[in-house]
Amino acid sequence: MLVHGARALLRWWRTSSPWVAKLLERRLVNVAVVALANKTARIAWAVMTRGETYRRPEPVPTGA
């Protein structure tokens, strides 16, 4: 399920997420999909084991 969800998200995040854009420059699409699913699983595990709510990471400023 995580892989299918990651594949759907990858279609939308290609241009809006710098992490995904850089990953797609280095890896094949299917490898990037599994990497995104793995990242999602690690975030879900951390949230569940700590009993916290998800905190969205702060965007990293780009540019000079």
Distance, CA of 60 to CA of 32 (rounded, Å): 21
Q: What residue ranges do the domains of the chain occupy?
A: 2-50
Evaluate whether 6 touches 33 at the Cβ level (below 8 Å).
Answer: yes
pLDDT digit string (tens) for 7-19?
998 887 777 778 8
pLDDT digit string (tens) for 31-62?
999 999 999 999 999 999 998 887 777 776 66
Task: Please give, one letter per residue, the 3-state secondary structure of the chain.
Answer: CHHHHHHHHHHHHCCCCHHHHHHHHHCCHHHHHHHHHHHHHHHHHHHHHHCCCCCCCCCCCCCC
Q: Which pTM was predicted?
A: 0.75
Distance, CA of 6 to CA of 20 (rounded, Å): 11
